[in-house]
């Protein structure tokens, strides 16, 4: 296995597909900066997440989202062009542009709940 870690931005919204046998696969591209100054370029990685995590991650992975991912590195050649591929084992969302939120998530988060406190209950 060739393990690779990358960090970059999604080039477009992730796309959830299903194989003929019913397995879920989430596909997305990640743009990674390479080099500095005038020699700076962008490397594009075609990434995939398989299984139950694919459907769970799909609403969060939108164009421009910053992520870090690691997994099995590979390449494929199509019409004479080599594509870099990453079968993701671990994925971390790093902030940045993310507009999707699952419904009712804030309601269940104790950090966002408002509590009515009587000033006599405050211990200081």
Report the CATH number that the domain containing residue 73 is assigned in CATH.
2.40.50.140
pLDDT over 50 at 10, yes or no: yes
d(Cα 49, Cα 40) in Å, to the nearest integer? 28
Tell me the per-residue pLDDT of 48-106, one tens digit each, with 9 for 90 and over.
999 999 999 999 999 999 999 999 999 999 999 999 999 999 999 997 554 555 555 55
Would residue 45 count as lying in a domain?
yes
The two beta strands, 81-96 and 41-50, are: parallel
Tell me the per-residue pLDDT of 21-45, one tens digit each, with 9 for 90 and over.
989 999 999 999 999 999 999 999 9
Predicted pLDDT of residue 1:
73
d(Cα 9, Cα 68) in Å, to the nearest integer? 9
Would residue 38 count as lying in a domain?
yes
d(Cα 30, Cα 48) in Å, to the nearest integer? 11
d(Cα 4, Cα 9) in Å, to the nearest integer? 16
pLDDT over 70 at 115, yes or no: no
Which single residue is written with the structure tokens 């950090």? 111
Would residue 120 count as lying in a domain?
no
| Domain boundaries, position 43 | 3-114
Would residue 39 count as lying in a domain?
yes
Would residue 123 count as lying in a domain?
no
Would residue 14 count as lying in a domain?
yes
Predicted pLDDT of residue 29:
97
d(Cα 73, Cα 3) in Å, to the nearest integer? 6
Tally of domains in the chain = 1
| Between 115 and 66, residue with greater pLDDT | 66
Q: How confident is the model at residue 110 (pLDDT cuts 50, 70, 90)?
A: low
């Amino acid at each position: 296995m060739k393990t690779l870690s990358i960090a970059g931005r999604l080039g477009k919204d992730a796309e959830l597909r299903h194989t003929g046998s019913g397995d879920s696969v989430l596909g997305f591209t990640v743009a990674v900066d390479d080099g500095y100054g005038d020699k700076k370029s962008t490397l594009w990685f075609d990434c995939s997440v398989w299984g139950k995590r694919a459907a769970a991650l799909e609403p969060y992975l939108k164009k421009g989202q910053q992520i870090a991912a690691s997994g099995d590195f590979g390449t494929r050649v199509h019409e004479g062009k080599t594509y870099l591929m990453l079968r993701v084992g671990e994925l971390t969302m790093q902030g940045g542009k993310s507009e999707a939120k699952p419904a009712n998530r804030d309601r269940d988060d104790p950090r966002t709940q408002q509590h009515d406190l009587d000033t006599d209950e405050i211990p200081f």
